[in-house]
């Protein structure tokens, strides 16, 4: 079996009437690890995410998922193995949390006869428990805080599959408490279930703390990949973000201090 869940080879992409966003990207995402995709705004992170969610197809190059060409995998089959939480999500305010999380089971149904099964109920209940959202499962989503809502989106993803999660800036707009609550949940899924995670992040210290593997991008290219220790250096932070930063060790943990 392949060691990498995703392999991108020479992938290029550009939106209609715009310059090329990705330019010959080569990237691997290892199985069973938490990979963070970092870089400044406009570097191509969200575009990579969109390609991996099958929202777009590359102009050139190839994307392989678990040894198979991604373009040849039916959407329903792919959805049973890969779940995504996007940066922006909308849903009617009067939908209950349980109903929303149940939508994660769509890929397992024949659309002509979408009757819920015992497996569906068990998957939804388990996802609600694991994300600590069971307590407000019957509430309408319009009643929830931002942090609660992000946990609900995670629950939906887990009800869909716990094999591979794609997460696009999932901590954006959350206060510090909820940011770390969400990241701790993600790490626990990875450790307890072997879930492969690829998440787009902006926070360098969160990347250092939570990522096993780091991919740093700049101008539509991969600048560096490897462990946080290998990838995140003072020189690269200056090159990529245009800021001066110091890397220090506090209680045996590396932290980034921006000057």
Confidence (pLDDT) at 252: 82
Beta strands in 123-236 (DSSP E): 164-168, 196-200, 213-218, 221-226
- Position 1 pLDDT exceeds 70: no
Region 79-88: mean pLDDT is 92
CB-based burial label for 172 (10 Å; 0-12, 13-18, 19+): middle
Distance CA 97, CA 168 (A): 21
Region 60-83 average pLDDT: 96
For 171-192, the pLDDT digits (tens) are 887 889 889 999 999 999 999 9
Nearest to 213 by CA among 66, 53, 43, 6: 6
Residue with tokens 């990237």: 27
160 in Cβ contact with 83 (< 8 Å): yes
For the segment 141-154, the average pLDDT, to the nearest whole number, is 92
Residue 90 has pLDDT above 90, yes or no: no
Residue 4 β-bridge partners: 30
Residue 242 CB neighbour total at 10 angstroms: 8
- pTM for the model stands at 0.93
Given the DSSP bridges, would you call strands 82-85 and 164-168 parallel, antiparallel or unpaired?
Answer: parallel
17 Ramachandran zone, left/alpha/beta (phi>0; psi -120 to 50): left
The average confidence (pLDDT) of the chain is 92
Mean pLDDT value of segment 248-255: 86
* Residue 255 confidence (pLDDT) above 70: yes
Is the pLDDT confidence value at 112 over 70? no
- Per-residue pLDDT at 18 exceeds 70: no
Give 85's contacts (C-beta < 8 A, 6+ positions apart).
150, 153, 154, 156, 157, 165, 166, 167, 168, 170
Rounded distance, CA 10 to CA 12, Å?
A: 6
Tokens matching residue 243: 């800021």
The predicted pLDDT at position 114 comes to 66
H-state helical runs in the chain: 45-52, 75-79, 97-102, 118-130, 146-160, 176-193, 204-210, 228-231, 234-241
Looking at residue 135, its pLDDT comes to: 95
Confidence of residue 105 (pLDDT cuts 50, 70, 90): very high
Q: At what angle do helices 146-160 and 176-193 cross, to 10 degrees?
A: 20
Q: What mean pLDDT comes out for the span 191-212?
A: 95
């Amino acid at each position: 079996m392949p060691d990498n869940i995703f392999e991108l080879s020479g992938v290029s992409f550009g939106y209609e009437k715009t310059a090329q966003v990705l330019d010959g990207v080569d990237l691997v995402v290892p199985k069973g690890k938490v990979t963070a995709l970092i870089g400044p705004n406009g570097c191509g992170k969200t575009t990579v995410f969109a390609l991996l969610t099958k929202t777009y197809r590359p102009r050139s190059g190839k994307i392989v998922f678990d040894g198979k060409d991604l373009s040849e995998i039916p959407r329903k089959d792919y959805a049973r193995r890969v779940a995504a939480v996007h940066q922006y999500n909308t849903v009617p305010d009067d939908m209950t949390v349980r109903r929303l999380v149940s939508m994660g089971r769509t890929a397992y149904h024949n659309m002509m006869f979408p009757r819920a099964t015992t497996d569906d109920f068990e998957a939804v209940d388990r996802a609600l428990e694991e994300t600590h959202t069971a307590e407000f499962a019957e509430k309408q989503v319009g009643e929830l805080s931002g942090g609660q809502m992000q946990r609900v989106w995670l629950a939906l993803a887990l009800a869909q599959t716990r094999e591979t999660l794609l997460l696009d800036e999932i901590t954006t707009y959350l206060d510090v408490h909820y940011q770390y609550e969400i990241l701790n949940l993600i790490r626990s899924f990875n450790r307890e279930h072997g879930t492969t995670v690829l998440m787009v992040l902006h926070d360098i210290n969160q990347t250092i703390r939570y990522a096993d593997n780091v991919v740093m991008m700049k101008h539509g290219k991969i600048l560096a990949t490897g462990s946080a220790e290998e990838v995140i250096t003072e020189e690269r932070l200056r090159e990529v973000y245009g800021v001066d930063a110091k890397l220090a060790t506090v209680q045996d943990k590396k932290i980034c201090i921006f000057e």
